[in-house]
Amino acid sequence: MDDSISAGIQWGSIGAGMVPTFEENSARLERGYTLEAWSKLDRTEKAMIIAIRRIGNAMSNLQTEAEVRASKRKMK
């Protein structure tokens, strides 16, 4: 991305290829799962929920970047 904002936070995961706890909890909350219900989901289902969330975030970021570029073009 050309235009971005950093919160200065690094998400740590337990190991390579693992989802950071913060991201997993955010996905859980966005979907309205309780901790108990989330723990009953299998790994594949959790992975799909997190992947869909990541794709949605990427799409939103690309849209925002396109809007920023368009705004800069209009200002010239």
What is the full per-residue pLDDT of the chain (76 aa) written as tens digits? 565 555 555 555 566 668 888 999 999 999 999 999 999 999 999 999 999 999 999 999 999 999 999 999 999 8
Q: What DSSP line would sit under 15-76, residue for residue? A: STTPPPHHHHHHHHHHHT--HHHHHHS-HHHHHHHHHHHHHHHHHHHHHHHHHHHHHHHHH-
> Domain coordinates of the chain in residue numbers?
21-75
